[in-house]
Structure 1
Amino acid sequence: MKLRTLLIAALLAMPAAVTHAAEPIEGNWKTASGATAAIAKCGGGFCITLKTGKHAGKRIGQMNGAGTDYSGSITDPETDKTYSGSGTVTGSSLRMKGCVLAVLCKSQTWTRL
């Protein structure tokens, strides 16, 4: 009888753990320049902050979304120019894209650390 009670308690606890799972975009990422960027919840979305490199501590973006697709804004830390941005998570890769007027776009792939 004790085993059954433990099993039921474990099964009841599972949905709580699943509903609190982190979004795929959350975590630390190695950028194309080799710096580490941390993506974490902030406000109603996700903030992107550089943790290492020349611009450590600088917030370079904000994204909204869920699952594998996110959109928002991205700032080039070298020029301080902000662009429309998007991010797509595929496994341990994050494809970041920044655009001016949705016509001139550049993208790079970040790797999960």
Structure 2
Amino acid sequence: MIRRFVAAMALCLGACGGAFAAEPIEGNWKTASGETAAIEKCGGGFCITLKTGKFAGKRIGQLEGNGGEYSGSITDPAEDKTYGGSGSVDGNSLKMKGCMLKVFCKSQTWSRL
């Protein structure tokens, strides 16, 4: 009985592996203000660069992580202030959060393009 269970689990891990894969953060995202932000690998993490709008070409963040959960820094391009930040991928949504002193936080949800 135990052998069958172990064999079934091994088979599922091989066949179901894609179902448990982390959702990628890389790609183009529509921000809450309507601009397009590109998230690409850079160094050991991911860089966020605005592709459209008034601040096109400006890097506004750097995150590290995997499995759909990321943390790092986020910059408000209008004020040019950088905050501790995080991102959480859920399908075609990316919830971004920036905090000052880990107490005062703002969140936005971006959509995958």
Instruction: Spell out, residue by residue over 1:42-97, the C-alpha distance to the aligned partner (whole angstroms, 9 max, x if none).
Output: 00000000000110000000000001100000000000000000000000000000
Unpaired runs of 5+ residues, structure 1, are 1-17
Partner residue in 2 for 1:111? 111
Unpaired runs of 5+ residues, structure 2, are 1-17
Give the CA deviation at 1:30. 0.1
Partner residue in 2 for 1:100? 100
What is the TM-score with the length of structure 1 in the denominator? 0.80
Number of residue pairs aligned between Structure 1 and Structure 2: 94
Q: What SS does the corresponding residue of 1:60 show, helix, strand or coil?
A: strand
Partner residue in 1 for 2:9? none
Instruction: List, as ranges, runs of 4+ consecutive aligned residues in structure 1 with deviation greater than 4 Å.
Output: none
Partner residue in 1 for 2:15? none
- The amino acid across from 2:55 in the alignment is H
**Is residue 34 from structure 1 mapped to residue 25 from structure 2 by the alignment?**
no
Task: State whether residues 44 and 64 of structure 2, in contact with CA within 8 Å, keep that contact through their aligned partners in structure 1.
Answer: yes
Task: State whether residues 23 and 91 of structure 2, in contact with CA within 8 Å, keep that contact through their aligned partners in structure 1.
Answer: no
Aligned residues with identical type, % of pairs = 79
- The amino acid across from 2:77 in the alignment is P
Q: What SS does the corresponding residue of 1:33 show, helix, strand or coil?
A: coil
Give the CA deviation at 1:22. 9.1
